């Protein structure tokens, strides 16, 4: 699996050109991208999507850009927990979903890097949907999610509630049978008070680089755009 992640990350690093302003994702596959990017020695700047990514960039000498001054980014690169043939995504396994969505919404091009097993027919088949919730609203949000059919579990780390870089908590929400219409669910979740963000990334990814165990990488674009 590490060879596949490395291959996807290295393929994405080849897309970067001198002078680009980048969105820098979070996670194990992105770590390989950052290593490959640093090795190229390009003059680039990047907006990190987590404190962990920011720390790694400092170690590698990748210059950081403040999101407050980033009006548009040339390219964002990030992983995914699931993606479907239309390149709709479930993200947030690493807990950085809110910052990832903010940063990747600024990018003219958003490339997903993942292993082949992340490609699914229907989102929610293999991975729960992370929902970032302000602590005050955990109870009401949890009940609203359960009312529409989700099975929820509060994410924990080391026996305590998981806290995001934004000071929020995460409910991992699983819908039996998966998410039939990600676009509709995206809107429905946005209307629930107390949800700071969720892991559905609808119509954001422009392409994906998927790697298999042999290190072969194939490029996908949204199926809807091919018809």
Q: What confidence score (pLDDT) does residue 79 get?
A: 98
Question: End-to-end CA distance of the chain, in Å?
Answer: 32
pLDDT of residue 223: 72
Quote the pLDDT of residue 120.
97
Q: Note the pLDDT of residue 100.
A: 99
Please report the pLDDT score of residue 68 as a whole number.
95
Give burial (CB, 10 Å; 0-12/13-18/19+) of 135.
exposed
Residues in the chain: 227
Annotated catalytic residue within 86, 100, 104, 132: 100
Dist. CA 8–CA 98, nearest whole Å: 23
pLDDT score recorded for residue 227: 40
Cα–Cα nearest to 185, from 84, 78, 77, 107: 84
**What is the β-pairing status of strands 82-83 and 89-90?**
antiparallel
How far apart CA 156 and CA 187 sit, in angstroms, is 27
Report pLDDT for 111. 99
Q: Are the beta carbons of 178 and 125 closer than 8 angstroms?
A: yes
Q: What is the pLDDT of residue 20?
A: 98
List, run by run, the mean pLDDT of 10-residue segments along the chain (227 residues): 93 98 98 98 98 98 96 98 98 98 98 98 97 98 97 97 98 97 98 98 98 95 64
E-only strand ranges, 21-138: 21-24, 45-48, 63-64, 75-78, 82-83, 89-90, 110-115, 129-133
Active site residue 188: no
Tokens in use for 25? 């994702």
**Domain ranges, ordered by start, for the chain:** 2-121+202-222, 129-197
CATH architecture of the domain covering 2-121+202-222? 3-Layer(aba) Sandwich (3.40)
CA distance 123 to 120: 7
**Residue 192 main-chain phi, psi, to 5 deg:** -90, 115
Supply the CATH classification number for the domain 129-197. Answer: 3.30.70.260
Do 2-121+202-222 and 129-197 fold alike per CATH? no
For residues 84 and 58, the answer to whether their CB atoms sit within 8 Å is no
66: Cβ contacts below 8 Å, ≥ 6 apart: 47
Between strands 160-161 and 195-198, the pairing is unpaired
């Amino acid at each position: 699996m590490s060879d596949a992640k490395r291959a996807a990350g290295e393929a994405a690093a080849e897309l970067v050109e001198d002078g680009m302003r980048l969105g820098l994702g979070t996670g194990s596959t992105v770590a390989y991208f950052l290593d490959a990017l640093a090795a190229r020695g390009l003059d680039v700047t990047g907006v990190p999507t987590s404190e962990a990514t920011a720390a790694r960039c400092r170690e590698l000498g990748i210059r950081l850009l403040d999101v407050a001054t980033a009006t548009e980014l040339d390219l964002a690169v990030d992983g995914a927990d699931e993606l479907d043939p239309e390149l709709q995504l479930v993200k947030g396994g690493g807990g950085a979903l809110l910052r990832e969505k903010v940063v990747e919404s600024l990018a003219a091009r958003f490339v997903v890097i993942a292993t082949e097993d992340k490609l699914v027919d229907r989102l929610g088949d293999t991975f729960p949907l992370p929902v970032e919730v302000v602590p005050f609203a955990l109870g009401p949000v949890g009940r609203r999610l359960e009312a529409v059919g989700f099975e929820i579990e509060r994410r924990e780390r080391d026996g305590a509630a998981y806290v995001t870089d934004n000071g929020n908590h995460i409910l991992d929400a699983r819908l039996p049978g998966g998410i039939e219409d990600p676009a509709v669910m995206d809107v429905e979740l946005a209307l629930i008070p107390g949800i700071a963000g969720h892991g559905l990334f609808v119509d954001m990814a422009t392409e994906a680089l998927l790697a298999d165990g042999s290190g072969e990488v194939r490029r996908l674009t949204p199926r809807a755009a091919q018809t």
